[in-house]
Structure 1
Amino acid sequence: MEGNGRQLSLWQHRSDSVEDIRAGATATMYVCGITPYDATHLGHAATYVTFDLAARVLWDAGHSVRYVQNVTDIDDPLLERAARDGVDWRDLATQEIELFHTDMEALRVLPPDHYVSVVETMQRHVATIEGLAAKGVTYTIATPDAVEPGAEDVYLDLSTQPTFGSESGWTREQMLEVFAERGGDPDRDGKRDRLDPLLWRVERAGEPAWDGRSLHRGRPGWHVECTTIALDHLGMGFDLQGGGTDLIFPHHEMSAVQAVALTDDPPFAHAYAHQAMVGYDGEKMSKSKGNLVRVSQLRRAGVDPMAIRLVLLAQHYRTPWEYTDGLLDNAVKRWDRWTRALQCRGDEDADQLIDGIRDALAHDLHSAEALELVDEWAAGAETGSPSPRVIDALDALLGIRG
């Protein structure tokens, strides 16, 4: 692909408008990764395909891209699932991480430059929390069930952080409505504010724990993990933070406020983008509900991964949608039409098609519009020859290749 790409613009929830992603020669992007306690479902896949598209648009516009993704390979859901199934939590995490990578490879999601394990970077998280403590913005709460006598959990004191709330733009009432169901502990005794995030959980009996130096043995809270990993690999003021809409609050809000508290150098990220939720059987697709359509199951059933990717690309990333077998059937038929056309349609109209795809994707990742343009092209007159330029464009821009 020649470097004639367009500047990427994405909708920003803070301004309620589509804004340009103003990256330098190297665009920097952080996308929150999986907690590996179950196989990749279409909700996960939608997120990573969306940010794969964003990276492809940035590359096409001439940027290099430094892309970082974490894996939350220690967390309560992982421990709970391992205990339920009678397996070692480390073995479960390893198994699901490998399956996730296999699923992403099948869907032609290009891997991040840095795929960072929380467990393997534990001392970096300790350093972040110790740095916050040294700035006087943390406090501890007595923890009677701690393994080590006198060890106490550590929290961020949000009253010291004037930027809190600036990323999500949510009211306190909105925050409290979802805080508990999204991993928070608003009703814990001893907290100064119900919304204060946990930074370090000291060791309890039967739980894995690591050397926390001055913090005592334990493990980090969820939000601070992304704070540390993003700062270590991208620094403050990186270009784009991504994830699902369920991460706007508390995860992205807390990750950002912790980074600002540590560095005094806002912003954490200049731009945010969020994948809408994917539903199935009338509810949000989620591991906790168990209403999952797993990528690996579809692949084992013989579904071409390109048809799965086309299901995802046929939806706009900001619009919630519900998976149906009909969507997959349509995607299979679409891919069949495309593969036939790519062998006999020729490249006569390639320039117009490629320009249209570039325009659709660069303006807030309107992938469905791009697919419709390919449909129109595929229905055109046949020349009897293959279409190498179109094949390369679909590969580079949409991640679609036979």
Structure 2
Amino acid sequence: MAQRLNRRDFLLTSSVFAASAALASCSSAAKPAPTPTPTPTPSTPTTPTTPPNPSSVPTLGSAFPLITDTAARLDVAKAKALRAAGVKTVFRYYSHLPPSLVGKDLQPEETLIILGEGLSIGSVFQHFNNCYRTFENNWGKEDAEQALRMAEAAGQPEGSAIYFGVDADWPYAALRDPILKYFEDIKRAFEGSNIAVGIYSNGCLCNAVREKGLAQYFWLSGSTGHSGTQAFYNTNNWTLFQNALDVTPSQVGYAIDTNLANPSTQGYFGQWNDRGARPAAHAAAETQTTFMARSFLRADTELMQDLNPGAASLTKLLKDRNVRTIATRCDWTKVITQEGGATRALQPMTGWIPTSALAPMTSFPGNSSNYGLCGAPTAVSDTTKYQNCDRATSRLR
């Protein structure tokens, strides 16, 4: 007896069949004739010009993101691997000691290695900032002072920035208001330092801190389902967007997160190097090119293995995921997932999707810009507040 398909299986089978039919049409389409190569004509020799300084010439079309963050302490080999992959800035952590993870804290010796390999540094403070006691117990002043001490030890110059993490989804007013007090204390402690304050968090809290004028830089975490993240992204007020989490690209060899800079930053987001703050800026054109090489998905989409008739579906990519685009043919675009890096049990995949399924990364497609539960007067349980506090004994008063 023939097996009967349920509605879900029928729709999935139909979508794969339709994709295969479209691929067959594409693969059989006439290919344009090659353009004849013109015969070179002699030209008058010119006097050679002075070669440009390589450091002043932007490298356009970098396949790999220019910005990473990692909790791994970098030695020469790790720093070289980032640089060889095309990375220009790596974010490393300031924290109280001992840090929440061994090797997470940036030490002066590591600073010399990173800068010596031609990378710039982005600074972010996190010390159990996923535990709500950090904010409930008014640690803003102490965290700011420790961040400034570590910045001085690292040689961080004036004019740069230090981001402070709020690493959980805490939208309700009862949780948000102590976080705002935390940033008020940080801003007060930073007065006279000539170092700017940034925040790493979801869109709800980035927006709340921005509206209060408590930070200048806004780094959206890669947890795009967190409160207000898509809404804040669509305002274009963000500075950085963490577009891939905990990936291990083969060319790097250890776990990193990757990030994209908003093209409106013109390549500067508070990073620094041994020449100062602004000299560490990425080229504006390079920032734009890297950003434009990624796309969001408009809807759940089948990732097809190739453009041959009967090609198999590798997986289904979900709406709002971002992918790196590699090539376009007919009405199809070749993409790679997870910035080419394995994450947990998931391997990166390369395949083809309809070009119509892609949306520019200027905004999340179809998002209503609703901040949802931000500021809601919802009662919050201790379980919600302290779920990440098991090891955070240093956050107790």
Q: What TM-score do the two structures reach when normalised by structure 2? A: 0.24
Name the structure where strand makes up a greater proportion of residues: 2
Q: What TM-score do the two structures reach when normalised by structure 1? A: 0.23
Name the structure where helix makes up a greater proportion of residues: 1
